[in-house]
Structure 1
Amino acid sequence: MSESDWSVDRISNDGAYAPGNLMVMCVKANRAKGAKGYRDVIQLASGSMQGAGFGPSKREWARLACVMVGAANLTGAGPTLLPLLT
Structure 2
Amino acid sequence: MSTGPEISQRDLRMRSKEIMDAVERGQTYTVTRDGRGIGELIPIREPRRFVSREAFARSSSRAPKVDLEAFRRDLDAAADPMFDDPYAR
Give the structure-2-normalised TM-score: 0.20
Larger radius of gyration: 2
Higher share of residues assigned strand: 2
